[in-house]
Structure 1
Amino acid sequence: MLGFRDPVADAIGLLRPRTVIGPSLRAAGEWALRFEPFPHVRVGGLVRGTCWLVLEGHEPVLLREGDTFMLGNPPPYVLASALDASPRPAGPVWTGAEDAFVRIGPESEEDLYLCVGHIAFDDRNAALLTDLLPPLVVVRVADPHGTRLAQLIDHLATEVGIAAAGGPLVQNHLAQILLVHMLRAHAGRTDRPTGWLGALNEDGIGAALRAVHADVAHSWSLRELAEISHMSRSAFAQTFKSHVGVPPLEYLIQWRMSLARDALARDTLSISELARATGYQSESAFSTAFRRVVGSSPAQFRNQARQPRVAEPGTAD
């Protein structure tokens, strides 16, 4: 049986996150670095100082001490001490990092400390999360979630700065905790995101989503989900689609197929077992649904997943 509990935890677990912390940036004087696009998510925050974050096509944002940010599949962007500073490519600078730090300017005059981490996901299901994120989310230290996030960044920065046993493990967990809190902050804003992330804050729709994730093998009907949400079927269907972007039963199918892709890629269940685990009475019914969503049969997908994968590009800019 495929056992799951909470939509956010389920999605992040299914994405098989791989975290690379740092290097962190310590800087003094005038500087500017241009970063190229990268896949998936980067999280970070200012432990000390201020700097400008300028995403291509967006208004510049001044980050202050204690602020945190999340970048989702962003376009090229610049980090700079001042808007009129001339940027240089970040790649060579990042490559020259020593002891997990990139330093710009005299060490004795450093007035900025920026801690960052890159989180990459399994490409097969990455869109579950990345499609819901804007290129930039900023949480100010004075925001409701801001103090907690600032504390996490400070803790992460401390771990980066020491060579303690188990440091990489602690850093990875802290970065993923930071990601979850950033998602909560983003979902809790008045300009809520569409998709399941925003819908979780709606009592009725959120209850239906949690029910689906708790028992994906159940033969859910529109009537059952509407009753869980304490709505009529028509009101539930309309509200669910307006918040999540797809009808309720289509969401159920999409989630089941995301689970199926993961299980087939890891070869943990036979196709008949997977059909039952995802709520299908027969292997043929499961295969038909899988082909409609994924574009290939389960057997073809599994065989392709067994082939050696091309090495992923590095996360350095």
Structure 2
Amino acid sequence: MLGFRDPVADAIGLLRPRTVIGPNLRAAGEWALRFDTFLHVRIGGLVRGTCWLILDGHEPVLLQEGDTFMLGNPPPYVLASTLDASPRPAAPVLAGAEDGFVRIGPASEEDLYVCVGHIAFDDQNAALLTDLLPPLVIVRETDPHGRRLAQLIDLLATEVGLTAAGGPLVQNHLAQILLVHMLRAHAAQTDRPTGWLGALNEDGIGAALRAVHADVAHSWSLKELAEISHMSRSAFAQAFKSHVGIPPLEYLIQWRMSLARDALARDTLSISELARATGYQSESAFSTAFRRVVGSSPVQFRNQVRQARRSPAGTTVVRSSAQPGDDPRDEAVA
């Protein structure tokens, strides 16, 4: 069975996050580092001090002790002690890290400590999250979620400074917990559609999403999902699209195809088994839906992944050519 019960846990599990913590930054005096663009998510917070975060195309933001930030597929950005400081490339500075830290200025005068981590995802499904995130999310310590996030940053910073057994494992789990809390904070801050993040703060929509994730093979109808949410069909459809960004049954199709991409990439099920597991009565019906969402047939997709694994470079990435919201349907999906 491919379904689970929690949309957030399901999505993050499907993303197969890989976490790299640090190198963290301790600094004193005037300094500025320019970071190149990178894929997926960078997350961090100020354990001590203040600094400016200057993201290309955005107004500079002053980060203060206890604040947490998340960057989603961001353009180049600068961390700096002052807006007047002249930035230098970060990469050579980070390359000189020792024991998980980069130090700028005299250690005796350090007044800044930034703890950061980079979370990379499986390329096949990374868009499940990165398409939902703005380039920058900031959670102040005074935010309802802020103190909890500051505590997690403190724990993560403490682990980086230790050489205790199991340190990397603890760091990895703390970073993923931090990511989930940042996503919750972001969902609470925004009034824009937030995809499956919409399940975090909406009881009725969340109940429908949990039902879909618990039994992805069921032939769900709009009527059934509306009843689970204790709404009329029209009210449910409107509320779902407002919060999630696409109609309910289009979400179901997109989620089924995300599970299918993952299963095909890992080569865990035959195509007939995968069709049944994702709620389709025949391989042809499944293949038609897969081609519409992904842009290739299941066989072609699986073969491309296999070929990429055999390739020395291993750089082939199969991407979806369909856009969320294409061909929405409001009857049962066979």
Global fold match (TM > 0.5)? yes
TM-score calculated relative to the size of structure 1:
0.95
Q: Which residues in structure 2 correspond to 1:122-271 (within 5 Å)?
A: 122-189=122-189, 191-271=191-271
- State the alpha-carbon separation in 2 of the partners of residues 187 and 136 from structure 1: 13
Deviation at 1:169, TM superposition (A): 0.7
- CA contact under 8 A between 1:188 and 1:198: conserved in structure 2? no
TM-score calculated relative to the size of structure 2:
0.91
Identical pairs, percent: 89
Deviation at 1:223, TM superposition (A): 0.8
Q: Which residue of 2 aligns with 1:2?
A: 2
Deviation at 1:199, TM superposition (A): 4.4
Matched AA of 2:203: D
Matched AA of 1:297: S
- State the alpha-carbon separation in 1 of the partners of residues 106 and 239 from structure 2: 57
- State the alpha-carbon separation in 2 of the partners of residues 114 and 188 from structure 1: 25
- State the alpha-carbon separation in 1 of the partners of residues 89 and 170 from structure 2: 30
- CA contact under 8 A between 1:192 and 1:198: conserved in structure 2? no
Q: Which residue of 2 aligns with 1:281?
A: 281
- State the alpha-carbon separation in 2 of the partners of residues 200 and 237 from structure 1: 18
Deviation at 1:191, TM superposition (A): 3.3
- CA contact under 8 A between 1:186 and 1:192: conserved in structure 2? no
Shift in alpha-carbon separation, 1:75–1:202, aligned structure 2, 3 A: same
Q: Which residue of 1 aligns with 2:325?
A: none
- CA contact under 8 A between 2:125 and 2:258: conserved in structure 1? yes
- CA contact under 8 A between 2:193 and 2:242: conserved in structure 1? no
5+ residue gaps in structure 1?
A: 313-317
Shift in alpha-carbon separation, 1:75–1:250, aligned structure 2, 3 A: same
**Worse overlay, 297-306 or 194-203:** 194-203
- State the alpha-carbon separation in 1 of the partners of residues 51 and 281 from structure 2: 57
CA shift digits 1:174-205 (9 cap, x unpaired): 00000000001111125355322134322222
- State the alpha-carbon separation in 1 of the partners of residues 71 and 122 from structure 2: 17
- CA contact under 8 A between 2:32 and 2:78: conserved in structure 1? yes
CA shift digits 1:127-181 (9 cap, x unpaired): 1111111111111111111111111111100110111111111101100000000
RMSD, matched Cα: 1.3
Q: Which residue of 2 aligns with 1:15?
A: 15
- State the alpha-carbon separation in 2 of the partners of residues 51 and 39 from structure 1: 23
- State the alpha-carbon separation in 2 of the partners of residues 46 and 191 from structure 1: 27
- State the alpha-carbon separation in 1 of the partners of residues 191 and 243 from structure 2: 12
Q: Which residue of 2 aligns with 1:62?
A: 62
CA shift digits 1:280-300 (9 cap, x unpaired): 111111111111111111111
